[in-house]
Homo-oligomer: A and B are copies of this chain.
Amino acid sequence: MELTPALARLMQELEKLPGVGPKTAQRLAFYILSRPKEEILSLARAIIDVKERITTCRRCFNFSEEELCTICKDMSREQSTLCVVADPLDLMAVESSGAYKGLYHVLHGVISPLDGIGPEDLRIRELIERLKCEPIREVILALNPTVEGDATAHYIAELLKPFNLKLTQLAMGIPAGGDLNYADRMTIARALIGRREFSETAE
């Protein structure tokens, strides 16, 4: 039973969002109906703005509202280190650690033959171009430790051989606050391989 055509259409649109089923769509639609008009127009405006204003940075392919993103424009960042990530969400995750002050390169995906995504669908060619003209000395491959992430990292590592670069990847091991008892075998194995000298002061 539909209450009104506008409400039915809104529920239909909301159901397209990830993780939103019919009941959630109904709840959201009724919430939207119940709020003051200005509040809802502000939500609609924010949705439209994101589509109208955001493009990708022409240098690193991070999301940006200008030709160059805030990170590329920030000349106080280390210009000799480049962190390669799969997508802008991963970039945000690395940024939120506060432990990285260099530049980024966003691939916009990983190689995944099953999904029909090959190297030419990613920003790999542009990465090579950057390395030819920018004074990069270290490339950090910060890809997820999954089959696709590893394959992409290996593919890029191969392409980067001709460049005289330090090539690194994120350390793998037990997460901070994690429990050995709940860590999977692969994580423990990688933590053992990557073990380091004990130091009294945690870094």
Contacts and interface: CB of A to CB of B under 8 A. Distances in A.
Interface of A: 1, 3-7, 9-10, 12-14, 16-19, 24, 26-33, 37, 39-51, 53-54, 62-65, 69-70, 88-89, 91-92, 95-96
A54 B33 CA distance: 8
A6 B41 contact: no
A85 to B, nearest CB: 12
Contact of A43 (B16, B62, B65): B16
Q: What's the number of copies of this chain in the assembled complex?
A: 2
B54 A1 contact: no
Contact of A6 (B28, B29, B53): B53
Given A17-B28, A28-B18, A42-B13, A33 B4 contact: no
B47 A4 contact: no
B54 A48 contact: no
A50 B7 contact: yes
A33 B50 contact: yes
B41 A51 contact: yes
A50 B53 CA distance: 25
B51 A88 contact: no
